[in-house]
Structure 1
C-alpha cells in the first residue's frame, strides 16, 4: 500500500559514512534510515559525506562575485540565450504554480559537455555546454563543487536502492550522462519582505535534491498542511525526495512540498537536483503496485524535467507562444506532486 503523509515536526539527521565502507550491516542500517525518512518525511539531513568544506567556501565566494556584477554583465549569460537551459536567471524570470514572481536571481548549470556532444548536436534541450561569465575562477569553483556533490548523489542513490530492497548499483545503468542541475541562487536583502503562505510552494522534478544554504528560510509542508523549518545544519546537506523517486516507488517515497519563506536576510542557496539520464523511463516498481495502490503513470525523466521547466520560466513560455517549441505530449501539470498539490481542488 502507498505511504501516507505524516504529521512530522522534525527532520531526521543521518550519517551516511558507512555507505563509503565495507561493513554490510552498517550500510543496511543507513539504508533503513534513508528509507524511513523518504517514506515518512521526504526530507532529511545527511552528514558524513567526506566532501572538503573548502569546495563550498570557494563556490560561495565565486557566487558572491558573480551576483555583485552589474546587471548588464550578468545578462551577457542570460539563460534565454542558451538552447539547453544554462545561465543567468534574473529576478522574476521563474514562477511556480499559482505564485507571484519570487524575489531572487540565479545561475543555472549542469554537466559541462563539449559543443560537439552528440546529444547536444541532436538538439537535446537539457544537455550540452554551460554558459560561463567572464569571471576568473568562477567556472572552476562551480565545476569542482558540482563534481563532488554529484558523486555524493551517486552514493545516496546506492543507499536508496538498498532501502528499496535492491542491490546498491540498481540505478547505475541510468546515471551515465544525466542533466542534473546545480543552481546558484541569491535572495537579496529585502527590508519590505512579508511572509505569505504558499508562495513558491513546489516539489522538485528530479530524483532528489542536495542542498547547502547560508541562512534559514526553507520550509516543508507536513501532512497536516503545516510549514516546518529546515534551517542549515553546519556541514550537512539537506536532501529532499523528488518526483522521480515518488513515481518509481508508486508513492512510497514522498516528494514533499516546500518553499522559501520570505525573509529580510540576504541568503545564498545551492541546490543540486540529482536525476537520471534524459531517456530513462520511470515507472512504478511492481512490488509497490496492488489493488489499493494502482500504478501511477510512467514518465520519461528528461521530458518531465523539460516540461516543468517550460511551464515555469518566462523565456520558455515566450518560446512556446511564438511557436518555436512545444510541450512534450505527456507533460504533467506544473507542480502536480506533493502535499500542497493534494490540497488544491481538482488535483
Structure 2
C-alpha cells in the first residue's frame, strides 16, 4: 500500500534542458516519481529570468490597484473567449465556496480575424488588455518564457511515461494554455477559510509562481499538506488530462488556497494541448484489471469545467447562448475528498 505523502518534493530540473546529457534520465525519473505518488512538486533550476517575474509583479500590482470601474472595463464577461478581469465572487468551485480573490485571465493571443475565433470557439482568440502602460509587454514576456519551460517539462513527462519525448508535441500548436494573474487582498479580519476552493486543474499540468504561502494539497489519506513558499521556485502539479492519458498513473491532486490573511499574488500557467485534441489512455496503461478511463476532448473539457464555475458563463448557459458538450463531466470529477470539510491537515 502506498504511504500517503507528507511533503511536496523539490526537484532541480536543470538537466532536463539537455536530453542527451548525463543527468537527463535521473531528472526525468524524479519528475515521474513525483507525478505518480504526489501529483505535485516544486522545481528549481528552471532558467526563467527573475527580472521577468519582477516586471510581471510590478505591472500586476498596478492593474489591481486601479479603481473597480477601470478594471471592469476589461471584465471577462465582455469577452466571448474567456479573457479579462475576474472580480471577487465571479468564480465558484464545486464545494460552493466564495473565493476572496480577483484575477485577470489571458491565453495565447490570436488575432481578431483568426477563423476559430470568428467561428465562435469559446477559448481561442484575442486577449482583452487594460489601458495600462507596459502591462501587455510585461505579461506577454512572462507568458512566453513560462510557456517555453512548459514545453521542456511536457517532453520530460512523456519520457517518464515510457513514451518518446515528442509524444505530445504534435498537440501543441495553438493551445488554450491560460495564464492567470491572481490577487488575494489583505484582510486584517480574515478567518482561516478558502481563498480558492478545493479542485483539480483541468489541463495537462500547471506551472505556478506565488508570492506568499497558502497553497495546500490533499494526500491519499484525505489530509491537507502545506506547500511552503520557496523563493524563485515554480510549483508544478498534474492536471486532469495527464491523469487520463496515463490512465491514472499520474495523479491530478486536489488542492486549495487557505490562510489568505496576508496579501498574496499568484501566477499559474495552466498548460494545455490544442483545443480539438482527443485525450484517451495510452495503450501501455490499459489492460486486464485496468480498464481505460473515458476519453475527453481537451478544449471541450476545459470549457465545460469553466462554464460550470463562472457566474457569467452559467448565466449564458441558462439563456441558451452557450451549451455544454454532451459528455461534459460535473465539477470535481477528478481528485480526492478530504477526511472532513473542516480538516486543515
Q: Tell me how far 1:328 sits from its aligned partner.
A: 1.0
Of 320, 323, 339 in structure 1, the residue corresponding to residue 320 of structure 2 is 323
Q: Distance in 2 between matches of 1:335 and 1:317?
A: 17
Match of 1:164 in 2: 161
8 A contact 1:5–1:41 mirrored in 2 = no
8 A contact 2:99–2:194 mirrored in 1 = no
Aligned residue runs from structure 1 range 1-347, under 5 A: 6-196=3-193, 200-340=197-337
Q: Tell me how far 1:99 sits from its aligned partner.
A: 2.3
SS of aligned partner of 2:198: coil
Q: Tell me how far 1:343 sits from its aligned partner.
A: 8.8
SS of aligned partner of 1:103: coil
Q: Distance in 1 between matches of 2:257 and 2:322?
A: 30
Query: CA deviation digits over 1:165-187, x for unaligned, max 9?
Result: 11211110000100000000000
CA separation of 1:191 and 1:49: change in aligned 2, threshold 3 A: same
Question: Across the two proteins, how many residue pairs are aligned to each other?
Answer: 341
Query: CA deviation digits over 1:202-252, x for unaligned, max 9?
Result: 000000000001100000000111111112211110000000000000001
CA separation of 1:251 and 1:342: change in aligned 2, threshold 3 A: farther
Q: Distance in 2 between matches of 1:260 and 1:273?
A: 16
Q: Tell me how far 1:198 sits from its aligned partner.
A: 10
8 A contact 1:307–1:327 mirrored in 2 = yes
Query: CA deviation digits over 1:241-298, x for unaligned, max 9?
Result: 0000000000010000000003210000000000100000000011111222211000
User: What TM-score results when the alignment is normalised by the length of structure 2?
Assistant: 0.96
CA separation of 1:251 and 1:5: change in aligned 2, threshold 3 A: farther
Structure 2 gap segments, 5+ residues each:
none
Structure 1 gap segments, 5+ residues each:
none
